[in-house]
Amino acid sequence: MRNNSLKKSIWVFHLNTGSCNGCDIEILDALTPYFDVERFGIKLVASPRHADLVLLTGPITLKTLPMVINALRAVPR
């Protein structure tokens, strides 16, 4: 099991583009001590510059498209 694990933790940036908050509640619920995803190395970060992954919830509209593009460009490669 340990040989198949990742070399480093996954840091996630959550970007809400106008969802109904149902997904947001589920994401925040996964971060509570009951599920404790941080024990697997998954951490929610506040900036896309620190993220390895962008978790997008909600529809992408013409008004939110520039925000999504800017967030994706800020993620380090």
Q: What's the confidence (pLDDT) of residue 31? A: 86
Bridge pairing between strands 53-57 and 42-45? unpaired
Distance CA 71, CA 69 (A): 5
Q: What's the confidence (pLDDT) of residue 5? A: 59
- Can you give the residue ranges of every domain in the chain? 2-74
Class of domain 2-74: alpha beta
Backbone φ, ψ for residue 65 (5° rounding)? -60, -45
- As a dihedral over the C-alpha atoms of residue 57, residue 52, residue 46, residue 22, rounded to 10 degrees, the angle is 20
Amino acid letter for position 27:
I
Please list the rounded mean pLDDT of every run of 10 residues in the chain (77 residues).
Answer: 70 94 91 88 94 95 96 94
